[in-house]
């Protein structure tokens, strides 16, 4: 972590929340045929993004939720506030901490006639180490499972471009905390993901910021492949009253959230923007509804080495989870090299 980068990230968040108001989302033409998917849609940023999409007329919203009962309650809230018909919203179960659930969800997505946008909003923050699917839980949910979902849906997103003629947007929610991520766990630059699963060495205070740095690297590396891709971007909604700090009941956290955080609705505007941003947003980190320069350690020469290494390790891990899931990407990469 660069000290200057951490200072910049902190100052940017504070100044953004006090002096920048993200623009109110507006409709993009006739949206009645569009289908959008939002994971973690029953609460926080996901719920407010869903409200914007419905209010502005998307034809179908798929709410990806871990708890069907909470999803149905959120659906009723959305229908009441937007005056939309019940058929405009469907609640689908997906647990981003369970590979079988993600696979079943992705298989169900294949039945949709089109997929115009996917917001991978479901994520977690914890300082308690635990393993899930053999991987530290924060790393599993925020990184491994998120990109498992991406690759499972990549054929569908390519089909959408071929049949509909427009590129799907795949948005992975990021955080300004990636500016503060420490690097010591990333060295030496081999077997990085496996080392992050060592309970004796894991720096859990750094794990959430590090997971968002890894997300940024994966988005950038995928965009750099030069293959047929959806528009892939990573917006930072800034510090919001989203419930992410639910494990931290300290007085400082409560005061910070009350006086420094954006409302969840305000933060969700940045996610809406990312779902309609142009090709200039592909592979980019976004803040305040603009392309933003990420942390210097994300783009430095050393950072690029780690980016490529983690990407290779992630592909291998995803192949172990679902053999063949990354084959379309690897095939395209091989063709690119031959050309």
pTM: 0.93
272 noted as active-site residue? no
Distance (Å, whole) CA 144 – CA 133:
10
Q: Which domain holds residue 149?
A: 3-338
Q: At 62, is the secondary structure helix, strand, or coil?
A: strand
The DSSP line for 67-115 is -HHHHHHHHHHHHHHHT--GGGEEEEE--TT-HHHHHHHHHHHTTSS--
User: How high is the pLDDT of residue 256?
Assistant: 53
70 is catalytic: no
Dihedral (Cα; 236, 237, 240, 242), 10-degree rounding = -100
- Strand, helix or coil at 140? helix
The number of distinct structural domains making up the chain is 1
> What is the chain's alpha carbon radius of gyration, rounded to the nearest angstrom?
19
Q: Which of 36, 99, 208, 285 is catalytic?
A: 208
Single out the catalytic residue among 212, 272, 285, 317.
212
Cα 65 to Cα 4, 40, 87, 293, distances in angstroms: 38, 5, 17, 32
CATH number at residue 252: 3.40.50.720
Dihedral (Cα; 65, 167, 306, 326), 10-degree rounding: 70
CA distance 268 to 197: 32
Return per-residue pLDDT of the chain as tens, 339 residues: 567 777 777 777 777 887 889 999 999 999 999 999 999 999 999 999 999 999 999 999 999 999 999 999 999 999 999 999 999 999 999 999 999 999 999 999 999 999 999 999 999 999 999 999 999 999 999 999 999 999 999 999 999 999 999 999 999 999 999 999 998 999 998 999 999 999 999 999 999 999 999 999 999 999 998 778 999 999 999 988 766 555 555 554 555 565 568 999 999 999 999 999 999 999 999 999 999 999 999 999 999 999 999 999 999 999 999 999 999 786 554 444 343
Residue 172: name the closest of 261, 100, 274, 54 by CA. Answer: 274
pLDDT for the residue 124: 95
pLDDT at residue number 81: 98
């Amino acid at each position: 972590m660069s000290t200057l980068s951490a200072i910049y990230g902190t100052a940017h968040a504070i100044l953004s929340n006090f002096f920048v108001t993200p623009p109110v989302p507006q409709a993009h033409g006739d949206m009645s045929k569009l289908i959008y998917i939002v994971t973690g849609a029953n609460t926080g940023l996901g719920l407010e993004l869903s409200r914007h999409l419905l209010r502005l007329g998307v034809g179908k919203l798929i709410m990806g939720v871990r708890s069907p009962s909470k999803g149905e309650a959120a659906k009723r809230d959305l229908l009441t506030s937007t005056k939309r018909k019940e058929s405009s919203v469907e609640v689908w179960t997906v647990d981003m901490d369970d590979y079988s659930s993600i696979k079943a969800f992705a298989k169900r997505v294949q039945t949709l006639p089109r997929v115009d946008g996917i917001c991978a909003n479901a994520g977690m923050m914890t300082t308690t180490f635990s393993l899930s699917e053999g991987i530290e839980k924060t790393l599993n949910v925020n990184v491994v499972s998120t990109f498992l979902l991406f690759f499972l849906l990549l054929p569908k997103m390519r089909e959408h471009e071929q049949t509909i003629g427009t590129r799907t947007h795949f948005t992975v929610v990021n955080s300004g905390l990636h500016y503060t991520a420490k690097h010591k766990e990333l060295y030496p630059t081999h077997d990085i993901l496996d080392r992050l699963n060592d309970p004796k060495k894991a720096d859990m205070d750094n794990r959430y910021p590090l997971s968002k740095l890894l997300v940024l690297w994966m988005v950038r590396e995928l965009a750099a492949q030069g293959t047929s891709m959806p528009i892939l971007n990573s917006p930072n909604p800034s510090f919001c009253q989203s419930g992410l700090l639910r494990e931290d009941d300290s007085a400082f956290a409560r005061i910070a959230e009350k006086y420094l955080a954006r409302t969840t609705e305000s933060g969700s505007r940045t996610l809406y923007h990312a779902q309609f941003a142009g090709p200039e947003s592909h592979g980019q980190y976004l803040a305040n509804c603009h392309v933003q320069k990420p942390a210097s350690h994300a783009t430095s020469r050393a950072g690029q080495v780690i980016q490529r290494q983690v990407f290779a390790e992630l592909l291998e891990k995803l192949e172990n989870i679902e053999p063949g899931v990354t084959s379309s990407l690897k095939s395209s990469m091989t063709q690119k090299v031959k050309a």
